[in-house]
């Protein structure tokens, strides 16, 4: 039987922990066929990102068109998009191939080791070009601060940030609380009407490389299978909790969340 399909529009991680590598194995784990529009090739290991080269924007667009026109896309996600030119090409192409495809936008700006994964001015393009087309956006707290200027330190500021982000035009916002203090990890999901607080355990590990990508692609896989946004996010949170619980050291720096469980 043909499985559902999910498209990741994202960069490659030579260390295999994040990027399209994380997305494809997460799709696989959900029984979803993974499609890829590669945006950039990063050079990185557990110690950080040494650099990246972006793929020409027309080649990114052509990859999306090639798979959408023939194989069909049940849901899509964006990760590292590298440049404003690529972001504009992705937005235009997604409109052309079918604006009703559920779209998860993970506004990746930098690695957790602090290396920029976007050229200057590109975050603004994500906000203006992609957020209005997104079913769901999934910023972490660093990205929330870059996008809204709000430093989330409490449930009240998390709610305030979610409302500020909704104003950029996505249907749903998930403000991930993974980088907040505390023994639990509370994520806030809202579409302006429903406000859903998702609480889970916080695991004591440094090895969380690829965690954001993995959660966003788990949500995308569930959307591809027809789940509602709240159900897909709840399932994605359970999935990433297991990946973080089983994370492992690899190299001298930050190890990956684990697909092995």
Check residue 112 for interaction with ligand PLP (CB under 6 A).
yes
Site size toward ligand PLP (CB under 6 A) is 17
Of the pair 116, 196, the CB lying nearest ligand PLP is at 116
Q: Which stretch binds ligand PLP (CB under 6 A): 93-101, 109-117, 142-150, 223-231?
A: 109-117
CA 162 to chain centre: 16
Q: What are the φ/ψ torsions at residue 129 (nearest 5 degrees)?
A: -95, -35
Check residue 236 for interaction with ligand PLP (CB under 6 A).
no
Question: In the window 173-212, what residues touch ligand PLP (CB under 6 A)?
Answer: 209-212
Of the pair 13, 187, the CB lying nearest ligand PLP is at 13
Residues with Cβ within 8 Å of 62's Cβ and at least 6 positions away in sequence, in order, are none
To the nearest 10 degrees (0 to 180), the angle between helices 211-224 and 229-245 is 140
- CB of residue 70 vs ligand PLP: minimum separation in angstroms? 26
Residues with Cβ within 8 Å of 1's Cβ and at least 6 positions away in sequence, in order, are none
Residues with Cβ within 8 Å of 55's Cβ and at least 6 positions away in sequence, in order, are 38, 39, 40, 41, 82, 86
Of the pair 76, 108, the CB lying nearest ligand PLP is at 108
Check residue 42 for interaction with ligand PLP (CB under 6 A).
yes
112 neighbors 209 (Cβ within 8 angstroms): yes
Question: In the window 73-92, what residues touch ligand PLP (CB under 6 A)?
Answer: 79-80
| Separation between Cα atoms, residue 195 and residue 38, nearest integer Å | 34
Q: What are the φ/ψ torsions at residue 99 (nearest 5 degrees)?
A: -70, -5
Check residue 18 for interaction with ligand PLP (CB under 6 A).
yes
- CB of residue 243 vs ligand PLP: minimum separation in angstroms? 11
Check residue 139 for interaction with ligand PLP (CB under 6 A).
no
188 neighbors 162 (Cβ within 8 angstroms): yes
Contact residues for ligand PLP, defined by CB under 6 A: 10-11, 13, 18-19, 42, 79-80, 108, 111-112, 117, 209-213
């Amino acid at each position: 039987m043909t499985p559902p399909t999910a498209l990741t529009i994202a960069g490659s991680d030579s260390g295999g922990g994040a990027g399209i590598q994380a997305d494809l194995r997460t799709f696989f784990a959900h029984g979803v066929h993974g499609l890829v529009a590669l945006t950039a090739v990063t050079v990185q290991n557990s110690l950080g990102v040494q650099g990246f080269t972006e793929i020409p924007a027309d080649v990114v667009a052509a990859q999306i068109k090639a798979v959408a026109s023939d194989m069909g896309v049940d849901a899509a996600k964006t990760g590292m998009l590298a440049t404003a030119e690529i972001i504009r090409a992705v937005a235009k192409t997604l409109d052309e191939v079918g604006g009703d495809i559920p779209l998860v936008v993970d506004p990746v700006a930098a690695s957790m080791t602090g290396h920029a994964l976007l050229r200057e001015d590109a975050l603004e393009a994500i906000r203006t070009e992609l957020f209005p087309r997104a079913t769901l956006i999934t910023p972490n707290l660093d990205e929330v601060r870059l996008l809204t200027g709000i430093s989330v330190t409490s449930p009240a500021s998390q709610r305030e940030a979610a409302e500020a982000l909704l104003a950029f035009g996505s249907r749903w916002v998930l403000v991930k609380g993974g980088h907040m203090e505390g023994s639990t990890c509370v994520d806030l999901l809202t579409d302006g009407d429903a406000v859903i607080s998702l609480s889970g355990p916080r695991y004591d590990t440094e090895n969380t490389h690829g965690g954001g990508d993995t959660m966003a692609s788990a949500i995308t896989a569930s959307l591809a299978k027809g789940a509602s946004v709240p159900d897909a996010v709840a399932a994605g949170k359970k999935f990433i909790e297991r990946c973080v619980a089983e994370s492992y050291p690899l190299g001298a720096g930050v190890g990956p969340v684990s697909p092995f469980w």
